[in-house]
Amino acid sequence: MKLSTLPNGTPDGSLVVLSSDGSRCAPATAIAATLQSALERWTDVEADLRELVHALDRDGAPGAQAFNPMRALAPLPRAWQWLDASAFQSHGDLMQVVFKLDKVSHDRPLMYQGMSDRFIPPTADVALPSSEDCIDFEGEFGVITDGVPMGADAAEAARHIRLVVMINDWSLRRIAPIEMKSGFGWIQAKPASSMAPIAVTPDELGTSWHASRVHMRLQVDWNAHRFGAAHGGTMGFGFDQLVAHAAYSRALVAGTVIGSGTVSNPDYRVVGSSCIAERRAIEMLDEGQPRTPYMAFGDRVRMQAVLEDGTPGPFGVIDQTVVANERKA
């Protein structure tokens, strides 16, 4: 099942279901007004949402229309909780190089709690304060859960993964090491993240979802040039383990979003990278110093997941331009 959110003048938008081919949508408001509402009552509404998809495929859904992903908000425009991991070991190792960090053990997941009160729509401009902050994109996959009890193990956690999404986790690299060294975590270095227009149930991914990982390549284009196409299947910890890690000492509310961290592969010199900092780390290893600049205002980044045969994945596209923030009184 594919779900999306269209604008209706409210912060949470209006939930729609998509046809099986993703070309059409129908309002789901009679079942659940918003995606957050659906997640809070998932076991009660899932069957009705799936039946609405079947009706849409049969041309029998009231209010059906062509789906325009350019109009879509993030599927979950704001969330109760956003937890981002660093589940790709090759990325973590490279970040230790670029930020001159002490080596970190990979025997447990790394995770931080980030800004969740908004996710930027997939084609909206991204306003940031200064290009001197070393603006970076970070392509990753994520999951959205329903309510997860405290202490859930990985097997139980997997059953609470209701949706899979694609995310661009924006970073300001000049500020990141300052905040990391403070020991208090990120605030200024992590602005709002962006989310692709379509959230999908795990079964929608077929064989591309196994071991609680997304087995697709995440193609990243920067200013219309291919920057990377790393594979999501190399996570050191699956999403089931990440959810269980997060739930160790807290129950997770319905609508918790958990990210994989930047998609990265050990053969990064071949497949490229999903963020600029990683490319710069590779240059430091190979050439002694970085040469790739960070983003400038007016730069554009495009992200799309693709199947093994190159067919576009079901999440849609993130396609955004970085612009200077215009402060308003």
For residue 113 the two structure tokens come to 């709690």
pLDDT tens digits for range 196-243: 999 999 999 999 999 999 999 999 999 999 999 999 999 999 999 999
Fold of 78-324: Fumarylacetoacetate hydrolase; domain 2 (3.90.850)
State how far the Cα of 5 lies from the Cα of 14, in Å rounded to an integer.
Answer: 5
Query: Mind giving me the DSSP string for 123-176?
Result: TS-EEES-GGG-EE-BEEEEEEES-B-TT--HHHHHHTEEEEEEEE--EETTTH
User: CB burial class (10 A; 0-12, 13-18, 19+) of residue 46?
Assistant: middle
For residue 58, the 8-state DSSP code is T
pLDDT tens digits for range 267-285: 999 999 999 999 999 999 8
User: CB burial class (10 A; 0-12, 13-18, 19+) of residue 203?
Assistant: exposed
Kindly report, as residue ranges, where domains of CATH 3.90.850.10 are found in the chain: 78-324
The mean pLDDT value of the chain amounts to 94
State how far the Cα of 209 lies from the Cα of 309, in Å rounded to an integer.
Answer: 15
Q: What is the pLDDT of residue 326?
A: 86
Closest CA to 9 of 32, 34, 37, 28: 34
| End-to-end CA separation in angstroms for the chain | 43
How crowded is residue 40: how many other Cβ atoms within 10 Å of its Cβ? 17
- Residue 299 scores a pLDDT above 60: yes
- Cα 126 to the center of its chain, rounded Å: 15
Q: Which residue has the higher pLDDT, 162 or 89?
A: 162
How far is CA 158 from each of CA 5, 76, 146, 152, 258, rounded to the nearest angstrom?
A: 24, 20, 11, 9, 12
State how far the Cα of 39 lies from the Cα of 22, in Å rounded to an integer.
Answer: 21
Q: Is residue 70 helix, strand or coil?
A: helix
